[in-house]
Amino acid sequence: MVLPAAKRDALSAVYAFMRRADDISDDPSLPIEQRHEKLDTLLCFLKRVIDGEKTDDAVLLALAETQKQFKIPVELLEQLVQGTLMDVEHGQTTAQYETFDQLYNYCYHVAAVVGLICIRIFGYRDPRAERLAERTGIAFQLTNIIRDVKEDSQLGRVYIPREDLNRFGIDTHALTNGTAASALRPVLEFEVGRAREYYHSAEELLPLIDDDSQPALWTLVEIYRRLLERIAQRDYDVFSRRVSLSTAEKITVLARGFLRRLA
């Protein structure tokens, strides 16, 4: 909403494609193998449209035009699709990540790749923007992981690396018992501190992208960072109720984003 119309349309095309890929990867009626096949087919069709084949598929047509206009590497779109399946490779349960390096790879495919695509649409000249956009995406995904510990654990998914749990003497079973909030406080505080470090990259990234896109990036970062700080303010209790920003808070941030665009 804070972007110029052409860039807004481009992001809408990317989102529509992401939504289609997500719907395929999350379809419980399909075996994993068939989800892979359908996603491979989707990518194949997209590449053919990018190469000039005619289509009446509005999503693929819009994304192909976006890819050409903003010079988005096809490899990033491929990685985006790969990321949609990372939560279901083992059925409904994701194997726990042993190290932060393993978690980083997951976060890269499900979030950082989105950032790398977005900055192509936002516009930038300094190549440093790419690494900073990747790290900003990691910050966003770490925020999601911290906020959703309870919901993910109920699905059998544990994203906090085992090495971090071991560091604080926490067993994974603590995620699902009644003492989870108090037991996990030290490791969640640690993960919040890690996420804050990655948010520093967002501050460095902001001045490197085109002026007309800076308000949109600022709005995204502000909302996610406020969510992270809200978790800290609640003493890292993500179990008693879901941590979120109110609609009024989000509208306030959005309004400030509009003012930045008009400045």
**Which pLDDT value is given to residue 122?**
97
**Which pLDDT value is given to residue 119?**
97
- Give CA–CA dist 113/65, Å, rounded: 19
CA nearest to 45, candidates 24, 28, 30, 31: 24
Give domain limits for the chain.
Answer: 1-92, 93-263
Percent of the chain with pLDDT over 70: 94
DSSP category for residue 43: H
Beta bridge partners of 209: 124
53, HSE (Cβ side, Cα atoms, 13 Å): 9
Q: What digits encode the pLDDT tens for the residues 94-145? A: 557 899 999 999 999 999 999 999 999 999 999 999 999 999 999 999 999 9
For 201-228, letters b (16+ CB in 10 Å) and e give: bbeebbebbeeebbbbbbbbbbbbbbbb
Percent of the chain with pLDDT over 90: 73
- Give CA–CA dist 156/131, Å, rounded: 32
Find the Cα–Cα–Cα–Cα dihedral 113, 115, 116, 120, rounded to 10°.
140
Please state the rounded mean pLDDT for residues 224-235: 96
Return the sign of the alpha-carbon dihedral for residues 66, 68, 71, 76.
positive
Q: How confident is the model at residue 154 (pLDDT cuts 50, 70, 90)?
A: confident
- Give CA–CA dist 67/18, Å, rounded: 14
Cβ neighbours for 72, distance < 8 A, ≥ 6 positions apart: 66, 117, 120, 121
Residue with tokens 């042993």: 98
Residue with tokens 């609609």: 247
Please state the rounded mean pLDDT for residues 37-63: 95
Note the CATH architecture for domain 93-263. Orthogonal Bundle (1.10)
Please state the rounded mean pLDDT for residues 164-175: 86
User: Can you give the pTM of this predicted structure?
Assistant: 0.91
Q: How confident is the model at residue 232 (pLDDT cuts 50, 70, 90)?
A: very high
